[in-house]
Amino acid sequence: MKPEDVAQYLQENPQFFETYAEMLSEIKIPQPYDGRAISISERQISALREKNKLLQEKLHELINIGENNDTIGEKMHRLAVSLLEFNSVEELLHGLNYNLCEDFSIPHVVMRLWYLSDIKSKSNQKRAEFSAVSKTVRISVESMSKPYCGPKVSDEIKPWFGPDAKYLQSFSIIPLRRKRTIGLLVMGSPDAERFYPDMGTLYLERLGELVSSALARLERIDLEQLVDESPKI
């Protein structure tokens, strides 16, 4: 009789070991680790223990992921509160860089903005954030459906990081949008694994939404100030 015939018979007759229960302890099978012969019952117990170990490891992994998400959520909350307190572009840019560096360990951050004429005042227009951006970069950012993470950025973007650019190994590009794309936030890291192509981008998307909303709020504030300061007739 072939082994396949035995296996098929046992599958078709599951009551076999109920009738011959003593065989479960009498039949010996090789232990896969040390070659020692053990009973079928012992082998089942060993398999269950191994499965339980794998399930425990998976549970610990899920708990760690949950705790990590809680930590990131707390940091995002602190950032959101800070963004609500800023009343100028200068405060926002300084505070954003500080929060990303201190809370998220991201010291290399650059931003470019367009379509924000109301906050591009005389005091702001010389800032690097309002420097001209090529049509190619704008179109590329406007076409993004989610933040980019990976080892490369365009030859136009990388020099924005200044002398530190040569040390950066991974990047994240986050579109800034309200009713339309108003700019981009770019973060860089010397760690090649910090921003990688398959990583989740949920919190990066939320970061983009928070910064975009803060900029829109500042634009409204600046517009109201311009109205208040205009000559009265």
* Mode of pairing for the β-strands spanning 108-113 and 148-150: unpaired
Residues in the chain, pLDDT under 50? 222-233
Helix 202-229 to helix 89-104 angle, to the nearest 10 degrees? 160
CA distance 54 to 52: 5
Q: Say what the pLDDT of residue 123 is.
A: 53
* Residue 41 belongs to some domain of the structure: no
Q: Say what the pLDDT of residue 17 is.
A: 67
* Residue 174 belongs to some domain of the structure: yes
Tokens representing 231 are: 């000559």
Q: Say what the pLDDT of residue 53 is.
A: 81
Nearest to 212 by CA among 188, 186, 182: 182
Question: CB of 190 within 8 A of CB of 168?
Answer: yes
* Residue 212 belongs to some domain of the structure: yes
* Residue 107 belongs to some domain of the structure: yes
Residue 194 CB partners (closer than 8 Å, separation 6+) = 169, 170
Radius of gyration over alpha carbons of the chain, in Å? 30
* Residue 49 belongs to some domain of the structure: no
pTM over 0.75: no
pLDDT tens-digit map of 115-131: 766 555 555 667 888 88
CA distance 53 to 51: 5
Measure the N-to-C terminal CA separation of the chain; round to a whole number of Å: 108
Q: Side chain identity at 205, as an amino acid letter?
A: E
Q: Say what the pLDDT of residue 228 is.
A: 45
* Residue 35 belongs to some domain of the structure: no
* Residue 8 belongs to some domain of the structure: no
Q: Say what the pLDDT of residue 226 is.
A: 38
Q: Say what the pLDDT of residue 203 is.
A: 92
* Residue 110 belongs to some domain of the structure: yes
Q: Report the domain count for the chain.
A: 1
Q: Say which CATH number the domain at 67 has.
A: 3.30.450.40
Q: For residue 80, what are the domain limits?
A: 54-229
Distance of CA 150 to the CA centre of its chain: 12
Nearest to 95 by CA among 79, 106, 111, 113: 79
pLDDT tens-digit map of 52-73: 888 887 887 778 767 777 888 8
Residue 201 CB partners (closer than 8 Å, separation 6+) = 146, 147, 149
CA distance 212 to 178: 6
Q: Say what the pLDDT of residue 229 is.
A: 43
The region that residue 31 occupies, defined by phi over 0 for left and psi between -120 and 50 for alpha, beta otherwise, is beta
CA distance 45 to 67: 33
Tokens representing 110 are: 């650059």
Tokens representing 168 are: 């950066």
Q: Say what the pLDDT of residue 164 is.
A: 94
